[in-house]
Structure 1
Amino acid sequence: MSLRLGDTSPNFTIDSTAGQINFHDWVGDSWVFFFSHPADFTPVCTTEMGRTAQLANEFTARNVKPLGLSTDSVEEHVKWIEDVNDTQTCDLQFPILADADHKVAELYEMIHAGESETAAVRSVFIIDPNKKIRLTMTYPMAVGRNFDEILRVIDALQCGDANNCALPADWRKGDAVIIPPSISNEDARDLFPNGWEEIRPYLRTTRL
């Protein structure tokens, strides 16, 4: 069964570097950046784990909990974290799931046979406090993720939820937003008191 946007994220209970985690309980009222990596003690993965740790304050400011996963053991994760902290000049505090039996990787379709039969590809799931999957991205094993885009899309999702708006290409915080065509001009006057520019009847932009 394929996971689609808007689906409830599958729950699971598994060991991690922070002890046993029941995923839905652990999420609580937060957003989640759930991401997999192929293996511990590998170069691209080390940079990604380090970058996630370096951005801890950025994730906290957005009420986002990072959660890593690979098919290695807790013991291997713990040893690797020392290497990540040393080589990436960081302090990695977020949990890394130990999915040695591939249970969660298969549940979230993180193993792609064209890349590997046993290691997870670089999957990204952005999950909201209602446990709904809001965004998915999949990177190949040899290419690290763009963390600017991960933060940008979290900002966009949260902005859209809070303001009943849509976000244009390359949108960043502070940029104009789009009033969805489903919102009438009458309703838009209440929702967007700053008014709007009507480029086309279907394309109205406004500043929040």
Structure 2
Amino acid sequence: MSLRINDVAPDFTAETTQGPIHFHEWIGDSYAVLFSHPKDFTPVCTTELGAVGSLEAQFAARGVKPIGLSVDGVENHAKWAKDIEEVTGAKVNFPVIGDTDLNVAKLYDMLPASAGDTSEGRTPADNATVRVVYIVGPDKKIKLQMAYPMTTGRNFDEIIRVIDSIQLTAKHKVATPANWKQGEDVIITGGVSNEDADKIFPGYKTVKPYLRTTTQPK
């Protein structure tokens, strides 16, 4: 099954390091970041889970729940968490899904249906495509998806930046330009007429007839 932005994120029930969850129910009224890993005790992924742990307060401030997934069991995840804290100094206080039956990996199109139904005997190389990030909104729809190669660690500062953009543009009739950061000017969407823009965004700048910028709404 191919997943696209604005599709409803597939729901599932799974065991995690914090007990069983029903994904949509677990998300509740929050945003969620689901990020997956090919196997426990792998070097790049160790740094990634630590990076997310270090951003715990930033995610919470934005009403975002991070959740990891690895194609191993939760018992291994708990042991791995000790290494992650030792290496990065950050605790894994968010749940990590145990996907030993490959159910979630296949549900989210990270592995083909022919991958079988067990993680037993599979190597990180076998699971190389299980390195995806999904941002899911409170409406349970996919807002972003990104896939990474095994040798490239994910940039979680960029994921925070994207969340800021998604949340801002969900509330206001604006879009964010390339490399935008919090506090910088934004773009007025094409659905806003110039007459309405005068009222909603007084003092906006017309760069081109199709490109109007304004200060970031509060």
TM-score, normalised to structure 1, is: 0.95
Shift of 1:147: 1.2
Query: Cα RMSD (Å) of the superposition?
Result: 1.5
Structure 2 residue 213 is the aligned partner of structure 1 residue 205: yes
**Equivalences for residues 117-128 of structure 1 within 5 A:** 117-118=126-127, 120-128=129-137
SS in 2 for 1:170: coil
Shift of 1:189: 2.6
Residue ranges of structure 2 left out of the alignment (5+ in a row): 116-123
**Equivalences for residues 86-97 of structure 1 within 5 A:** 86-97=86-97
Aligned twin of 2:43: 43
Aligned twin of 1:16: 16
Matched residue type, 2:170 = D
CA contact (8 A) 1:27 1:65 kept: yes
Aligned twin of 1:191: 200
Aligned twin of 2:120: none
CA contact (8 A) 1:105 1:120 kept: no
TM-score, normalised to structure 2, is: 0.90
Aligned twin of 1:54: 54
C-alpha distance in structure 2 between counterparts of 1:149 and 1:42, whole Å:
22
Shift of 1:126: 0.6
What is the total number of aligned residue pairs between the two structures?
A: 206
In structure 2, relative to structure 1, the CA distance for the partners of 1:119 and 1:75 (3 Å cut) is farther
Residue ranges of structure 1 left out of the alignment (5+ in a row): none
CA contact (8 A) 1:70 1:120 kept: no
CA contact (8 A) 1:47 1:84 kept: yes
Structure 2 residue 153 is the aligned partner of structure 1 residue 144: yes
Per-residue displacement from partner, 1:146-173 (whole Å, max 9, x unpaired)? Answer: 1111111000111111112011000011
C-alpha distance in structure 1 between counterparts of 2:59 and 2:129, whole Å:
23
Percent identity (aligned) = 51
